[in-house]
Amino acid sequence: MTSSPRSGSVLKIHTAEPFSLESRSLRFGFLAVLAALLCALALVAAAASPAAALETERWTAKSNQDSGNEVMGGTPTRVTWQGQSAQDESIASISLDLPEGTVMDASNVKATVLQGTERIGVDWTINVNGAQADVIFDEPLQPGYMVMVEFNECVLPPNGGTFPVVGSYTLADGTTRDIPDDGKTITVVGTSAAEQLSVWLAEQPAVQAWNSVKFLHLFFDPSIAVTSVPAVFSGWLLALLMVIVSFPLAIPLGLMWSFMRMAKNRVLCAIASCYINIIRGTPLFLQIYIAYFGLPQMGVNISGFWMGIIVLFLNSSAYLAEIFRAGIQSIPKGQFEASRSLGMNGAQTMVFVIIPQTVRRVIPTMTSEFILMYKDTSLLAAVGVYEIISNARIITAATGNMTPYIVGALFYLIVTIPATRAINHMEKKLADGGRKRRKAVAAATPGVPVVEEVATHAVAADGDADMTMSMRLSETFAISPEGAIYGEEKKALRHKARRDDKDGKGDPRE
C-alpha cells in the first residue's frame, strides 16, 4: 500500500483478521461433522447390539439362627430370587439351580409376577428335580414384567458356603439365556452334627408329643438339649481344667498353713490364723469380685482363666489347712513320743510316720473339698469365664428354655458321682489292705532288709499293738543300718506286743 506524503505517516492495512475468522469457521464445521459421525456410529452400534438381558434384583435367604442374622445350613429357611425382565423379553419359563445338597419340595415353591407394584394373575407350574426348580408359565409373560420365586422350608447344604445365582430362562421364541448373578450371593454358615440332629428330633412325633406338655418342654426339650451339649461340653472342659490345676496347688499351700497354725512361734501362728479365718469367713463370690475388679485397678491384669485358678486355690488352701490340722492332731501323741525316743527329729516323724496316716484319714474330706471346688467354678460365670453355667446361660437367653441348665447339671454329676464312688472304694481298699501287708511282712526272709514293706505296714496297721511295732521297726530301719537284720528279735517283739494288748496288761504305746 501507499502512504500520504503530506502527513509523512504510513497507513497499515492488516489482512490477518479476515483469515482468522475463516479458520474458525472451518474448525467449527469440522467439529460439527465429527460429532454427527459419532452419533451415527453410536446409533448403529445400539441397533446392532443384542437386547438387554434379565436383571437379578434379589437373591437372599431368611435368617434361621436363634440369635443372630446368619443363614444356617441344614435348617429350614426361605430363599427368594427376584428378576426384572427387559422391555423386549417375553419370558416363558425360568430354571433356578440351588446349591448342591439343597432339599426342597415343589409344594413349597411359589412364583409371583409383578408389574411395578401391581400383582399380575398368572398361572404357572413348578417342577422340582433335586436342587433344580423349573417355573413354567402357561402363557409367556409380557415384556418388562418382574418375576419373584420363593422357596419356603428350603434346607440349604449343612456344610455351608457362598452361593451365587445359577440358572437360565427361556423366551417366547424358544431362546434360552443364562440368568446373570449381578454380584449377588447367599452366604450359608455350616451346621454341626448336633444341630442337624436337633432339627431331625424336632420333626419326630414322639418329641413333638413330649414338647406338647409345657412343663416338659420348658425344662427338657430334647432338640435344645442336643444343641446345648457342644457349648456346655466346652465349658465343662474349662471348669475341669481349672480344678485340675487349682487343687494340686492348694494341697501344699494348705499343708504349709496347717504347720504354721500349729507352730509354737506366735507370729507364724497369728499369720496363719488370720489368713484362714478371713478366707473361710468371707464368701468365695466376694473374693472373686475383689480379684477380678480390684486387681486391674492396681495395674495387675491377668486373664480370666488364670485369675480363676488363683482365687480357687487360695480359697481352697484355707479349708485344706484345717483339714490337715485336724488329721494331724487326730494321730495319738504316743506315736510322736515313740518316734522321738527312737532318735527321729520332728521332720522325720512328720514325713515318715504322721503324714502317711493323716493322708488316709483325710482323704474323704479332701474329696469333698475337691467336689466343692469343682462346683464353685460356676461362680466364675459372673465375671465372664465361659464355663458350664456361663455357656448354658447364653443358650437359655437365646431360646427362653431351661434345658441348657439341666444339661449343665448332668455335666456336674458326671464328675461328682464317680468321684464319690471312687473314694469310697479307695477307703475300703485301704482298710482291707492292712491285713494283707502284715502277712507279707511276716513272710519276709530273715536277714533281708524289708524297709518298704515295714513302712507300709506302719501306715496301714489296724490295732494299737501292730501300729506300735510297725512304727518301731520302720523307724529303726530309717535311722540305723543295723536294723536291716532283725530276724527272731522282730518276731519276739511283735508277739509280745500282741500278747500284752490281748491280755490287757498295758497299753503297748507306753
3-class secondary structure for 215-279? HHHHHCCHHHHHHHHHHHHHHHHHHHHHHHHHHHHHHHHHHHHHHHHHCCCHHHHHHHHHHHHHH
Q: Please determine, for residue 245, whether its predicted confidence score (pLDDT) is greater than 80.
A: yes
**CATH fold for the domain made of 55-191:** Immunoglobulin-like (2.60.40)
- The grid coordinates of residue 236 equal 465343662
Question: From CA 33, how far away is CA 36, in angstroms rounded?
Answer: 5
Residue 163: beta bridge partners? 186
- Report pLDDT digits (tens) over 131-167: 999 999 999 998 989 999 999 999 898 888 899 999 9
Domain ranges of the chain: 55-191, 223-431, 444-503
- Residue count of the chain, please give it: 510
Residue 54's pLDDT is 85
Alpha carbon 409 to its chain centroid, in Å, reads: 17
The burial of 482, by beta-carbon neighbours within 10 Å (0-12 exposed, 13-18 middle, 19 or more buried), is given as exposed
Kindly report which listed range (203-207, 386-390, 447-451) carries the lowest average pLDDT score: 447-451
Residue 506's pLDDT is 45
- Report pLDDT digits (tens) over 302-332: 888 999 999 999 999 999 999 999 999 888 8
Contact 89, 63 (CB under 8 A): no
Q: How many CB atoms lie within 10 A of CB 436?
A: 9
Question: From CA 22, how far away is CA 483, in angstroms rounded?
Answer: 137
Could you tell me which residue, 481 or 118, shows the higher pLDDT?
Answer: 118
Residue 49's pLDDT is 40
Q: Please determine, for residue 378, whether its predicted confidence score (pLDDT) is greater than 80.
A: yes
- Please report the DSSP string for 273-300 in residue order: HHHHHHHHHS-HHHHHHIIIIIGGGGT-
Helix (H) or strand (E) holding 209: helix 205-211
Question: From CA 80, how far away is CA 129, in angstroms rounded?
Answer: 18
Domain at 223-431: CATH architecture: Orthogonal Bundle (1.10)
- Report pLDDT digits (tens) over 421-467: 887 887 777 666 655 655 665 565 455 444 444 343 333 334 333 43
243: nearest Cα among 81, 409, 425, 367: 367
Kindly report which listed range (93-97, 103-107, 498-502) carries the lowest average pLDDT score: 498-502
Question: From CA 307, how far away is CA 314, in angstroms rounded?
Answer: 11
Any idea which residue has 459421525 for its cell? 37
Residue 164: beta bridge partners? 185
Any idea which residue has 514293706 for its cell? 453
Q: Spell out the residues 6+ positions from residue 108 whose beta carbon is closer than 8 angstroms to its own.
A: 151, 152, 153, 154
User: Residue 336 to residues 24, 175, 266: CA-CA distances in angstroms?
Assistant: 127, 105, 22
Question: From CA 379, how far away is CA 393, in angstroms rounded?
Answer: 13
Q: Please determine, for residue 502, whether its predicted confidence score (pLDDT) is greater than 60.
A: no
Contact 367, 423 (CB under 8 A): yes
Question: From CA 474, how far away is CA 470, in angstroms rounded?
Answer: 6
Percent of all residues in the chain with a pLDDT value above 90, rounded to a whole number:
44
- Please compute the mean of the pLDDT values over residues 213-236 and round it to a whole number: 93
- The grid coordinates of residue 214 equal 409345657
Classify 379 as helix, strand or coil: helix
Could you tell me which residue, 356 or 68, shows the higher pLDDT?
Answer: 356
Give residue 493's pLDDT band: very low, low, confident or very high (50, 70, 90). low
> Computed from CA positions of residues 99, 100, 101, 104, in that sequence, does the dihedral angle turn out positive or negative?
positive
- Please compute the mean of the pLDDT values over residues 413-428 and round it to a whole number: 85
Q: Spell out the residues 6+ positions from residue 370 whose beta carbon is closer than 8 angstroms to its own.
A: 243, 247, 419
Q: List % helix, strand, coil for the chain (3-state, nearest 5).
A: 60, 15, 25
Give residue 237's pLDDT band: very low, low, confident or very high (50, 70, 90). very high
Q: Please determine, for residue 408, whether its predicted confidence score (pLDDT) is greater than 90.
A: yes
Specify the pTM.
Answer: 0.61
Q: Please determine, for residue 208, whether its predicted confidence score (pLDDT) is greater than 60.
A: yes
